[in-house]
Chain A
Amino acid sequence: MIIVDSLTKKYGGFTAVDHVTFRAEPGRVTGFLGPNGAGKSTTMRIVVGLTPASSGTATVLGRRYADLPNPGREIGVLLDASAQHAGRTGREILTLAQRTMRVPRSRIDEMLDLVSLSDEEAGRRVRDYSLGMRQRLGIATALIGDPEALVLDEPANGLDPAGIRWMRDLLRGFADRGGTVFLSSHLLHEIEVIADDLIVIGSGRIVASGTKGELLASAGTYAAAAELAALANALTTAGHTAEMSLCGLRTDADAGQVGRLALAAGVPLTELRPADSAGLEEMFLELTKDDAREGDAA
């Protein structure tokens, strides 16, 4: 369990993290979603004690991170897979972690096996690793102490689709066994397939949070019809929203309401379903558009 309460970080006059409050619960994968520069990494660095907070608190498994006697045994951390001495081999980096945490040597080979790094690859220096291999090594370092919680900053960066699927299964399994997973991403599609709970951050402030189901439900309903304008008209007359796209529309009315209104208006529906990820993506862009560098162009 990770509890962040009213966390704030100021750099001079700039507020990078602004009264951020959330929980990452055990048994669940909590996704931390936001555009680049929104404050995700700063929040994560504060949680693990690398950056001092201006105000507010963060606790991991009931304690401040710095008060954990052997943090690697309780919380696995991967903040930046490239932040390693390039002259060390992968195996050596795992060995340093294994020795610091005082876990059995056998954990090194178990972890290499778990993240599918071969003996030959483990013997190479990290400067010769691809980003995907560094992410795998970082995951291995985070897991070597058998932690109860994981904090991962952009862990899917540099992974190929098979790698992302592997990561998803790994984190799913970890959470299903009672672990807490807190991971960040700036890509909605990436996090959507992994996370149970979502926290959306923009400009240092939390703009939305909840279970994925809740957020998807709030994304509304997608409907398509040949006479789209008539359907939109029926919806807006009834007081619902109707955002038309190329061949359908998104509305805040639920599927039942859309069906009844379409029947009353005599408009045959060709498609009717929860707006789902398309809706969540629009919501994400909407929520963060003031903060995203691309602005309205996105």
Chain B
Amino acid sequence: MSSTTMDTHATVRERHGQKDGGYAPIPFRTVLGVELRKAFDTRSGFWLLVAVAAAGVIATGATLAFASDSDLTYNNFAAAIGVPMTILLPVVAILAVTSEWSQRAGLTTFTLVPHRGRVIRAKLVATLLIGVSSMALALAVGALGNIIGTGLKGVDTTWDLSFTTILYIVGADLIGMMIGFTLGVLMRNSPGAIVTYFSYWFVLPTLTGLLAANQHWFEKAQPWVDFSYNQNRMYDGGFSSQDWAQLALTGTVWLLLPLAFGLWRVLRAEVK
């Protein structure tokens, strides 16, 4: 054992003797590659991504099995697959950030790359890449389901989902992932961020919906203050310029500002 030590380090010292100005900086693609790998290399991460894929296949199967013939349209396949995506993908985003703190892996990550901004940026890019590829996969699975389903039942294959609508759906899902990412950066705690996200996604729309149904003033104000309301409207597509303004306004207040605050803190916080 000690002879191995000797050998490896003898060469090391020689090389250190030769080098003049130090090593090349770590390129961003390296950090990105490592962050992508980290999304898959733990049991939780691996199964989460398997679940994302499996949910798409199961949703397609369920639509095939239970939908009436006239409901076998691409829109319905896409919608069935989109629901599990909107729930699971933000969790991918959350865990990408929080595992560095909850599992304390950041102690190593941030010493190997002592610029937290680069690591966080790599995490964000990795998260969005995973999101876009999962959705591309889901849409492909849905298309396949649509062709097979209508073929089996002998009805016309309906492609009732425009490319623009697909972009709206992808946009809404990416916003969902950004919300997950923001919660991760803000809370740096996996269970806390996941519970908060699920509350945002499942509980908040119910409450605001109730409020809007009972209070006329809130129904009027809702598009200007309620981000989740605007995010949900994206799944229907067809935004007017006022809709975009409302999305931008609520997105700035509820997503971008909290994200900026969270990043500001993460870049300064102690890593313990």
Contacts and interface: CB of A to CB of B under 8 A. Distances in A.
Interface stretch (B99-107, B168-176, B220-228): B99-107
A100 B41 CA distance: 15
Contact of A110 (B8, B41, B113): B8
Contact of B272 (A45, A71, A148): A45
B104 A52 contact: no
B42 interface: yes
A99 interface: yes
Interface size class of B (residues with CB under 8 A): 35 or more
A279 interface: no
B125 to A, nearest CB: 16
Given A70-B26, A97-B112, A114 B268 contact: no
A97 to B, nearest CB: 6
Interface string A63-93: 0011011111110010110111111100011
Contacts of A169: 2
A83 B37 contact: no
Interface stretch (A172-180, A181-189, A263-271): A172-180
B195 interface: no
Given A101-B112, A177-B13, A69 B4 contact: no
Interface string B1-37: 1101110111011011000001111100011011001
A77 B268 CA distance: 20
Given A110-B4, A173-B6, A177-B10, A96 B114 contact: no
A157 to B, nearest CB: 15
Interface of B: 1-2, 4-6, 8-10, 12-13, 15-16, 22-26, 30-31, 33-34, 37-38, 41-45, 99, 103-108, 110-115, 268, 270-272
Closest 4 CB pairs of A and B: A87-B42, A83-B104, A146-B12, A83-B107
Interface of A: 45, 48-52, 65-66, 68-74, 77, 79-80, 82-88, 92-93, 95-97, 99-102, 110, 113-114, 116, 125, 141, 146, 148, 166, 169-170, 173-174, 177-179
